[in-house]
Structure formats: C-alpha cells, structure tokens
Amino acid sequence: CPRAGVGCPRRVSSVLNRDVKQFGKKHMFDSSEETCWNSDQGTCQWVTLDFPRPVKVSQLHVQFQGGFSSRLCTLEGCRAGEELVKISTLYPEDVHAMQISFAGRGGLDMVEETVLDKLKITFEDSTDFFGRIVVYHLGVLGERL
C-alpha cells in the first residue's frame, strides 16, 4: 500500500475553528506544501486511519510545523473487530522537516512492522502552549495483504 493514508476513511480529534476547508484532515494527504491539518487546542490530538484491507505497516512519515509538533506520539492499531493495542512510541523532533520511522531499522524511532486494519496516531505532548498540532504531511507506508 504505497500511500496507505490516501483513500482510507480517516478521522481527526479536531480542526482549528472547525474550518475544514482551510485546515481539514484531507490536507495531510494532498502532497501540497501549502496546506496542512491544524488541530484545535487541547491535549492529546489524534488521527485514525481505517484501511479497506489489512496492511503491513513499515514506515511512518510525518511533517509538522515547527512550534506545533508533538514530542511524543503513540501508535495503536488493530485488526478488524478488535480493540486498539499499543504498537510503538515515537519521539519526533520539533522541526518542519519530514521525519521518517522505519520498521526494523534506525530512522527517527522504530515502528514495529505490524499487520492491521486500523491505525491511531496520538499526539500526546504538543510543543505549542495551547496543545495545537499542525501536520503538513502524514504518510503510512507498507504492503497490502
């Protein structure tokens, strides 16, 4: 699944001022440097992806806006009909650059190679005083099964 986030039903915890046209979740996946998902304020913002069929996740790509990133990301996943379980804990940097986590290799942090139908990424420690998160790009790469 070269771009697991594309075409997958997805949900987010919030959108800044409920302005989905300007700051909605779709902007994390549109490959534009001009657009982004901007959460509203509050702790523990999150994104969920529901894949149409099982995916073996091998990489996570994320590009935050510096100053509006997360120091701690928890990845949870499950197969269809099961409860979410913790997969990995990531510690991104507070930078605007693309950050990549690889299964089984170095990289930012480790993403356990896991087969799942649903993935939840929780941004637990925002660098913004109000808890806002800004994501320009989110990519979950892997293999469709």
Domain membership flag for residue 119: yes
pTM for this one? 0.86
pLDDT by residue (tens digit) across 75-93? 999 999 999 999 888 889 9
Domain membership flag for residue 3: no
Alpha carbon separation from 105 to 59, 89, 101 (Å, rounded): 10, 15, 8
Domain membership flag for residue 4: no
Domain membership flag for residue 68: yes
Confidence bin at 102 (pLDDT 50/70/90): low
Number of independent structural domains in the chain: 1
Domain membership flag for residue 5: no
pLDDT at 1 over 50: no
pLDDT at 108 over 60: no
Domain membership flag for residue 2: no
Q: Name the maximum alpha-carbon separation found in the chain.
A: 41
pLDDT by residue (tens digit) across 39-48? 999 989 999 9
Domain membership flag for residue 34: yes
CATH number, domain containing residue 111: 2.60.120.260
Domain extent, residue 107, equals 10-144
Cα–Cα dist 37/133, whole Å: 8
- Report, as an integer, the average pLDDT of 53-64: 89
Domain membership flag for residue 1: no
